[in-house]
Amino acid sequence: MSSFSAQTQTSIEFAADLFRQSKHAVVLTGAGFSTPSGIPDFRSTGTGLWSSNEAMEVASLTTFRTTPERFFEWFRPLASQIFHAQPNPAHCALAELEKAGHIVSIITQNIDTLHQKAGSKTVIEMHGTMQTLTCTQCYHHVDAELCLASFVENGEIPHCPKCSQTLKPDVILFGEQLPQTAWFNAQREARECDLMLVAGSSLEVLPVAGLPMQALDHGAHLIIINNTETYLNVRADVAILEDLAMIIPAIAERVLHG
């Protein structure tokens, strides 16, 4: 950890101590967790997925229902980035911590399945997943591996193998509610955890942004690792404004190997 400042090293050691003492640690990850893997975040000026009003309109349930080809045209570059992305060191570090029993679950706002690719087993996906698609007519479920490659490579809009209607990626668009089971599970984890790590999230999108406050209200410790401040940095036991792809592996190294 010699590449970190003395202050950052102290914060890493304190965070590692909190993990070692924890009996029920939960992680909340946002879009910033996957930017080191080449997937754009949502709100960075000029580069975020929602940095234009047009993107917010196209990525809506209304647009998908009325002009799905417009949605898929917008979605294809993102799908390509997700299709080719690999877990970064932070994803792998969380998987190692879970395997060693230091993390109970990961609540993620991401749809890229990189936590699962890294080896994490208990992942609560708040905004859906790119792993499956559902038919808009007969509700048949299709594994994304069966059609994602042709869509990414050729722009071929996926259709249901049973009824030929358009398949919708199982991601949450504007105008859709969060998955009920995922939301209930996330709230339960927030209430029951004794430590929550928030990483790569600006905590600006409700209702998920309220989960760390639920954890605090039930007596949990809070660690925040993000490039920018969040509304809860002042309440956190540890807040580190540095590259999470470096910080989280350093914390995991301290937890696992001292």
| 140 among known catalytic residues | no
CA dist 29 → 1, 91, 180, 257, 258 (Å): 23, 10, 19, 24, 25
CA dihedral of 187, 43, 173, 216, whole degrees rounded to 10? 10
Beta carbons of 96 and 18 less than 8 angstroms apart: no
Two tokens at 112? 């890229």
Beta carbons of 142 and 132 less than 8 angstroms apart: yes
d(CA 206, CA 97) in angstroms, rounded, equals 28
**Who contacts 6 (Cβ-Cβ below 8 Å, separation ≥6)?**
none
- Which of 102, 127, 141, 218 is an active site residue? 127
75 sits in which H/E element: helix 68-84
Which residue, among 256, 221, 223, 222, has the nearest Cα to 242 in the 3D structure?
223
d(CA 89, CA 132) in angstroms, rounded, equals 25
- Indicate which residues carry an active-site annotation: 127
